[in-house]
A and B are shown apart, each in its own frame.
Chain A
Amino acid sequence: LRGLNNLLFYRYRDLAPQLVPLDYTDKPDVTLPYELIGSMPELKDNPFRQRIAEVFSEDGDGNMTLDDFLDMFSVLSEMAPRDLKAYYAFKIYDFNNDDYICKSDLEKTVNKLTRNELTPEEVRLVCEKVIYEADLDNDGKLSLEDFQHMIIRAPDFLSTFHIRI
């Protein structure tokens, strides 16, 4: 595991060697801007990379310190428990940060997933179906509990919500 720790630290450092010192004993306050994080090979093809960086960064802008970086990869690793992953997945798909996945969040998700290839009618249909399937308390939007209840049963969730580094 020490090997893995070192690996993560060096990956972080490799993004910007001139900004990240090798010695962290005096707790330097180093934050890497989102552009560097988003250009990592593991993330650059992911349509949700901006949201991932925003969720795990301290300032909510996508600029990550080493701690945030480690946090991100530990949640997305194989070892993280299902509930923890579900919690963070909810935050990632909640685009407007209002603790509910509402219709506009769903529309943004679908459009990101299909790169705007679906017609607005189809997008609307999909979002309505999702709300119909998953919304348990009938408030027209998905709360954390609704989301967790739905995602826990998904057979693919653990294997797709996983980044290997």
Chain B
Amino acid sequence: MCKSQQQVQLLFILCLAAGIEIDGQVESDTQSEEDEGKEKISKKQPRRETVRAGRLERKKPQRDKEDESKEEENCPRQNRASRRKKHQKKNGDGKNAEVKERDKKASTKDQKNSENKEKKTNKKQKEGENKQKKDRKNSTSSESSNSFDEESLSEEELAMLMEQVEQRKKLISTMRNKPWRMVKKLSVLREAQAFVEKFEGALGKGKGKKLYAYKMMMAKKWVKFKRDFDNFKTQCIPWEMKIKEVESHFGSSVASYFIFLRWMYGVNLVLFGLIFGLVIIPEILMGMPYGSMPRKTVPRAEQATAMDFSVLWDFEGYIKYSALFYGYYNNQRTIGWLKYRLPMAYFMVGISVFGYSLMVVIRSMARNANQSTADGDDDNFIFSWKMFTSWDYLIGNPETADNKFASITTGFKESIVDEQESNKDENIHLRRFLRVLANVLIICCLCGSGYLIYFVVKRSQTFSKMQNVGWYERNEVEIVMSLLGMFCPPLFETIAALENYHPRIGLKWQLGRIFALFLGNLYTFLLALMDDVNEKLAEEDVVKNITRWMLLGHHNSSMGNSSADTPPPLDPADVPRGPCWETTVGIEFVRLTVSDILVTYVTILVGDFIRACFVRFVNYCWCWDLEAGFPSYAEFDISGNVLGLVFNQGMIWMGSFYAPGLVGINVLRLLTSMYFQCWAVMSSNVPHERVFKASKSNNFYMGLLLLILFLSLLPVAYTIMSLPPSFDCGPFSGKKRMYEVIQETIELDFPLFIAKIFIFLAILHTSWLSHLSLVPCGEAISVTAGGIYSTAKAWHSKITCSKNMFFFSFFFQVIYLKFVSIASDHFSFEATSETMLNP
């Protein structure tokens, strides 16, 4: 391997080795210790040839030792090394020494304030001196080695040696934080490494020395393995070059959207793997095949049209009766030769989807919170920050650079004007009135849009009962929701012009309002859907009766025909089917998602690409300058896109319990989105003119995601806890409630003592539960309330490990309580618990 690569590798060893030390001190805290160390070296140890193109990789300690012994022409050294091997060494002392050293270093760190330049020159001088003194040291080493000729090294000297080794190790680990020149860093690093390697092996105790050396070697191998694995992981990150290109043209804020998209893609991929591997594949491979059961077959009445494209597009027909939706799954307790418990798996996977997403989002928020600083709205350093942090070093494109120069100039001018104007009086009353007016208008808009959606959903229910519905009537709901999502935000922006806020605050208001809009729409949609569900549930009894009569009739007629004892089974397609509300809900969500995808893509195509083409080509024969004037080129709408992504994910979370295939559709969507949007941005967008960084927005978007996670958990939890599953479709059919599958599993699959444990716990907790369990969905609401509360807290304060644990524990405590309530319901106090849990 060529030397440069070695150097580079060593350099990055430094970087990775110190990766955990986040806020490394630039003013080297080990300065004095190093100086001390160096002096000690010069006195005691022979100066090693540091600038030798040798093998200094840690993974080859043996070879190094050989080299060292070859290098050294001094017998004394070998003597000393062998002597070291013979003598005992207190490792415990070494560890104490290390702790003491760290304290010492911390205190000296506080005292230090010398000029870096002086230090550097001092160091350089010392190094130079050290190098010159090499020969002299060799002779002194022979002297000192004579002193070591004694059979037993004193404890003190061993302790000192241990200390020096620890010093070197600390130096190596903090090397990356030192503002030295590369050459110097490399030489000091090599020297320190060589020292550590040479004497580390000698520090083990007599008998346990081999074990100690072995342990050190394994530790080094482990470090190396981790490093290689990290390298590999970094190489595997997809789309890195694409994002870099976008970044250099548009700056880091636009690129942050794509990084967020990539992260979402990763999360969805994991969720898809979970669902696909644990639910869909077992059912397809080991469950009953299509056509063998009523729930898996297209009913006779629909078979004629089941393959039509328009029917398939609405997710009816063959798709409705496929593994994509809830209704396909059989409620057989175990399937296949593996005795795979599918209903249990379905339930647990549904819960773990939320659990995993929660973990991942919180972890990401914690990481972001660590990186970002206290308060982005700090007003104390406006001009300083404008001067020193406004240039984006990632820019690699002259056009973007021009824009950046222009925006910086504008920024400075604006700040100057702000500064001069801040002394003026303002008309507070007018401002307040305008703000109140704006808020009133916006609330009206929100209510209006909510009502519109409710009205449209009700209408679609009447449509579904009619015949001969056109395409528009079938898709009215989705169209209306998408249109609202497209036109309301710009409306909010124009109304917000009345308010006259600082742009960063204005952006927050805008995002909050868009959030309220989407949320309101989604929940109205859900409410309307719930009416549908309740209707279907009411229908069920009727269908049950019909089925019974029909089967009876079939038996009678077939009995009449043949004299066999058992009647031939009814063809699955002919069995009258109960309404399957879960599949309906799943279908609605899938349709919503698909229409959302389509609308997004069409908007990008028309709003960005066609617009760009129009501006570019029609500009020649148009009255005014299209590029500078009205349409001009579009800017990439970061917040709109991020919000779209967040809400899309919310819908996926809501729908994935009822339509396992939805996550797969989303994975495809994110994949194509990445390529499509990258292309659209590069070809039709221009960089932002006015760039102010909503720089804490990373955590803001994560916070939104967390909120959406809890809010989408709520409907699912409600339906699981309080609605009875359909009687003839899905993995929970036949049960009173979906969660009973857990009780069943515990009863039948676990040994008896676990059931006894639950009885005991139930006795303990019965009274506590009565507070929470009064309303059937009380648990669900309390979980969500806890979640929202914790989200709000997390948003406004730094997330630390302890707070994470608090949120988790709250969440799991309520889940646990619910679980115990289920157990108590089943195992004991059945009658009384029943009255408590189901008013």
Measured between alpha carbons, how far is A81 from B26 in the docked complex, in Å?
Answer: 9
Tell whether, in the assembled complex, residue A160 and residue B3 are in contact, meaning their CB atoms are under 8 Å apart.
no
Does B387 lie within 8 Å of A1, measured CB to CB? no
- Interface range on chain B: under 10, 10 to 19, 20 to 34, or 35 or more? 35 or more
Contact with A along B374-404 (1 / 0, CB 8 A): 1010101111110111111111111011000
Contact B412 A114 (CB under 8 A): yes
Task: Name the contact of A1 in the complex, choosing from B23, B117, B230 (C-beta under 8 A).
Answer: B230
A109 to B391, CA, bound (A): 11
- Contact in complex: A156, B179 (CB < 8 Å): no
Chain A residues closer than 8 Å to B117, beta-carbon distance: 99
Q: How far is the CA of A115 from the CA of B412 in the complex (A)?
A: 12
- Least distance between B6 CB and chain A CB atoms (Å): 8
> Does B181 belong to the interface (CB within 8 Å)?
yes
Across the interface, do A83 and B177 meet the contact criterion of CB distance under 8 Å? yes
CA distance A45 to B494 in the complex (A): 36
Chain A binder among B9-17, B207-215, B628-636: B9-17
- The answer to whether B416 touches A163 (Cβ under 8 A) is no
In the bound complex, CA of A45 to CA of B713 (Å):
48
Given the complex, which residues of B lie within 8 Å of A106, measured CB to CB?
387
Mark out the residues of chain A between 42 and 97 whose CB falls within 8 Å of any chain B CB in the assembled complex: 42, 44-48, 58, 66-68, 70-71, 74, 76, 79-84, 86-89, 93
Complex Cα distance, B412 from A24, in Å, reads 48
Beta-carbon contact of B389 and A157 below 8 Å = yes
Q: Are A83 and B231 in contact (CB under 8 A)?
A: no
A154 touches B389 (CB 8 A): yes
| B48 at the binding interface (Cβ < 8 Å) | no
Q: Is the CB of A155 within 8 A of B2?
A: no
Residue of A nearest to B230 (CB): A1
How far apart sit A151 and B53, CA to CA, in the bound complex (Å)?
Answer: 40
A157 to B388, CA, bound (A): 8
Contact partner of B383 among A47, A82, A130, CB < 8 A? A130
Name, among B177, B371, B384, B389, the residue most crowded by chain A CB atoms within 10 Å (CB to CB): B384
Contact: B16 with A1, CB < 8 Å? yes
Residues of A within 8 A of B244 (CB): 164
Partner of A151, one of B234, B388, B401: B388
Which among B23, B182, B412 is the interface contact of A83 at CB below 8 angstroms?
A: B23
B413 touches A113 (CB 8 A): no
CA gap between A133 and B21 in the complex, in Å: 30
The answer for the CA separation of A8 and B176 in the assembled complex, in Å, is 18
Residue A139 is within 8 A (CB to CB) of chain B in the complex: no
- Given A70-B182, A133-B382: A3 touches B371 (CB 8 Å cut-off): no
Q: Tell me if B26 and A155 are in contact (CB < 8 A).
A: no
User: Please, how many angstroms separate the alpha-carbon atoms of A106 and B12 in the complex?
Assistant: 34
Query: Taking the complex as formed, is A122 at the interface, i.e. its CB lies under 8 A from any CB of chain B?
Result: yes
Residues 407-448 of chain B: 1 if any A CB is under 8 Å from the residue's CB, otherwise 0?
A: 011001100100100000000000000000000000000000
Residues of A within 8 A of B181 (CB): 58, 67-68, 71
Min CB distance, B235 to chain A, in Å?
6
A158 on interface, CB distance cutoff 8 Å? yes
B252 partner residues in chain A, CB cutoff 8 A: 159-160, 162
Given A70-B11, A74-B11, A113-B391, verify A9-B4 contact (CB < 8 Å).
Answer: yes
B3–A155 CB distance below 8 A: no
Inter-chain CA distance A144–B373, complex, in Å, is 20
Closest to A89 in B: B388
Chain B 334-374, CB-CB to A under 8 Å as 1, else 0, gives 00000000000000000000000000000000000001111
Majority secondary structure, A binding face:
helix
Which residues of A have CB within 8 Å of B400?
Answer: 45
- Residues of chain B within 8 A (CB-CB) of A47 are 391, 405
Q: If A74-B15, A151-B388 touch, does A46 touch B395 (CB 8 Å cutoff)?
A: yes
What's the minimum C-beta distance from B367 to chain A, rounded to whole angstroms? 13
CA distance A68 to B184 in the complex (A): 11
Question: Contacts A27-B3, A79-B15, A159-B252 known; A126 to B231 CB distance under 8 Å?
Answer: no
Contact A117/B409 with A48-B391, A88-B179 known, Cβ cut-off 8 Å? yes
Tell me which of B230, B378, B381, B387 contacts A126 (CB under 8 A).
B387
Shortest distance between the CB of A164 and any CB in chain B (Å) = 5
**In the complex, A148→B373 CA distance in Å?**
14
Instruction: Tell me the complex Cα distance, A148–B394, Å.
Output: 22
Q: Does A19 contact B (CB under 8 A)?
A: no
The yes or no answer to B7 lying at the interface (CB within 8 A) is yes
Q: Is B831's beta carbon under 8 Å from chain A?
A: no
Contact: A23 with B5, CB < 8 Å? no
Cβ of B227 under 8 Å from chain A: yes
- Contact between chains at A110 and B387 (CB < 8 Å): yes
Contact with B along A128-162 (1 / 0, CB 8 A): 01100110000000001001101111111111111
Instruction: Tell me whether A5 and B5 are in contact (CB under 8 A).
Output: yes
| A60 CB → nearest B CB, Å | 12
| Docked complex Cα distance between A81 and B47 (Å) | 32
17 additional contacts (CB under 8 A) given A3-B231, A154-B381, A155-B695: A8-B8, A9-B5, A42-B396, A67-B182, A79-B15, A84-B24, A84-B179, A110-B387, A113-B405, A122-B413, A122-B416, A125-B419, A126-B383, A126-B416, A133-B384, A134-B384, A153-B373
28 A-B interface contacts by CB (under 8 A) = A1-B227, A9-B4, A41-B396, A42-B248, A45-B398, A67-B186, A68-B181, A74-B176, A80-B15, A84-B24, A87-B179, A89-B388, A110-B387, A113-B391, A115-B405, A122-B416, A125-B416, A126-B412, A130-B383, A133-B382, A150-B381, A155-B373, A155-B376, A156-B385, A156-B389, A160-B389, A162-B252, A164-B244
Which A residues are within 8 Å of any B CB, using their own CB?
1-6, 8-9, 22-27, 41-42, 44-48, 58, 66-68, 70-71, 74, 76, 79-84, 86-89, 93, 99, 106, 109-110, 113-115, 117-118, 122, 125-126, 129-130, 133-134, 144, 147-148, 150-164
Instruction: Report the 10 A-B pairs with minimum CB-CB distance, sorted nearest first.
Output: A67-B182, A24-B4, A24-B3, A5-B8, A45-B401, A129-B383, A155-B695, A114-B409, A1-B231, A155-B376
